[in-house]
Amino acid sequence: MEIDDKQKQEYLDKHLPYRLNSLLAPDLITFRRTLNISQELKLKCYQDSLVLEPAFEISIIFGRSLLNFLGITYDSKSKKLIKYSPKSDDISLINIYPERDFCPLTEDLIVENYESLCTIIKLANKSVAHLTSTESNANEHSLLENARKTIYKLTLKYVPDINKKGIWWHEQVGQ
């Protein structure tokens, strides 16, 4: 699918930053707990599962979405990351940068964080996006923060023209 310059800019300025914000929302909430804010605000806002749990689940779905955008998916049979084959109406990295290929599976960030990236896609497919009998466990949950931060780094690396001003993590944490 071809996109024009206006659509490309919309993805760089709006859609991708939005997905990164949603991806890192639970991490930003927990980061803010470490700041010097009042105890009342900590109790009122950041221990409320009505905010944190949905943010956590959305982060898993958007993690998968961003990995697919970068050209990466998970094969449940082989239990390996594989190259994603976008559908005809999917917008992906190669729509934004037609002269480039997808993020290679040999990328150092992927190799170093392989298990956590497999886990976030697996959980998105089996525990969050669909109602299944497969339940996630504490070990899998322990890998998700690393997966989210790796996806963030991969996105910034492979989409260097993204508007960072709209990305909360970049603005508030600076990483």
Q: What is the separation, in whole angstroms, between the first and last Cα of the chain?
A: 33
∠ at Cα 32 (26, 142), nearest 5°? 40
**Contact in structure between 49 and 57 (CB atoms under 8 Å):** no
Q: Global pTM?
A: 0.87
Mean pLDDT by 10 residues, the chain (175 residues): 92 96 88 68 56 82 97 96 95 96 98 97 76 64 93 98 92 81
